[in-house]
Structure 1
């Protein structure tokens, strides 16, 4: 068994009751066909967003994804007493200094050509940047207020009084969540960050059917001779045991953080905890689907990430004796891991362990620990053992 580690894989089994965490364009729970049967699915983007938001609550410098950089900077300036028109002008000039075009243009093949500003002040693409960068941009405007006032008063198009480098450095700044999840920003040089985390779409370990819930709303101000409802509609829901999987590339995360292994370690711990406990917000006020995983299995690997999704290509069926799908799902995951380890060996596994609601351990999933916190610490200790 090797001690050189690069990947931290986390596998979760989580029972979700009647819910609709992630809808398609028609309002139905997202789905997929796998193993010849229909399953309920929650997209990776959906659970990543919930995880990122949970992480942001724990980090000092939050990241935001927005097209409203101009609007946000102008609001900051207005709160300092700047006239609205001057604040809007200054915020636009900041983006122009970074290379944004003043009106949206297209290449001859119809593709967007670089970063541009729409008439509304919105950027042509979503920018993913530290929230503190908005304060930094406002500080640049404050520094050059005199030049901005003169340029605005002239009524002529003027070169912005900022250097391209100082504005771009703020726009392409990084936070912990940007280092983890990455950033697609081809419009600005050096703006792209390859994410260190990969997240799979969650899906039920078994076949599911969508349930249609017909509901009405009563008009509280109906007169005594009026009957009926004030509103009628229907919504779709499902329930099931979900297999969830994500992996952290430790080496890439350290690279994204300029070789700061200590910060990378803390982020890895926080990510594993946030991923396990975060819950998408879809229909939550109507369903309150706030469960926690029944089983968590973490493996630290030196070779490559390994998903155990194929454990459920054959859909789980309810147990003959006690019924239910959660217990046989946990057993099916452990059985699949066992045959996979026998077939391919375990040389690539530096550490693995699990926690579950079962009293018995699953030997194929490594040591059984008493708490998820212990599991995370043991895994992260191994992953960062030789990294300072």
Structure 2
């Protein structure tokens, strides 16, 4: 589950005044934060949810950009068993209130994101959420009087501190994943690129990434562009093949269909970190390998850019991205925001493809401190 970004300000000093002391603090009022808060509320625990925005589920006000969720809303199974039906309902949170089933908010199999916003707004009623509270820094201190031997100290944007025994992080993976390469400044991010397909009429587009956001973006503009190329470091992972719902879903694979049917669209394979974009001065963007760009810069002293001289050349002349692009869109997914956590937390990223998540154990607790819990953002370490 995903929630909005939290930003860290190094200049904010620690203060000694405590607004309140809690047993449990939850960061984020998205689906993960509201679900754990519902359990705490029903158990009559001492807790609070901190949400930087003025409403729950604000992530879904803007994302996904094209507003269609890939979490299925299956309302009919032919069964009366509630547990069985909930296994096939990917949107409803757990509650004793039968009216808080997502099927009451949408009948679409792939629902609109606005319906999720309405659902989370109603689900949050009765939950202790402090809206407009932006946690800027989290640290930990030894406390012999605490039942677990330490306390978490949370500093908000007003320079007030809050403390708790257990910290549950449900802030999701909220930062756009950005890869730096020569010419990266010419790219547009998925989180901000236009969603009006008419803005792409007659243009040639390169999309960086091969996940659902990349294919979702391609599907939106497919009928307006000259052609779309999609670049990723590995082959497309199809959810029906991998059985992982986060891989490419059939609802988004229109570009894959046109590619296989030999249309002008194409899928390219390569490491994006080796990429280089060259602006020719007239608005066109040429793709090359940064090796060729380096060799070009070393061999010329003039200021005239000749993109064709930077393109790979071989006897087969099979460089797929030889034609220039009008736009390059970055759709590389998201990563966790580690910046608010003080060094005392000792929170570390995972390894390899899991480095975008915090390193946690099989119980989704941070490896260093057993009472720091991630909800909806982390992957277990092994």
Q: Mark the structure with the bigger radius of gyration.
A: 1
Give 1 or 2: higher helix fraction. Answer: 1
Structure with greater contact order relative to length (CA < 8 Å, sep ≥ 6): 1
TM over 0.5: no
TM-score (norm 1): 0.24
- Give the TM-score, by structure 2 length: 0.24
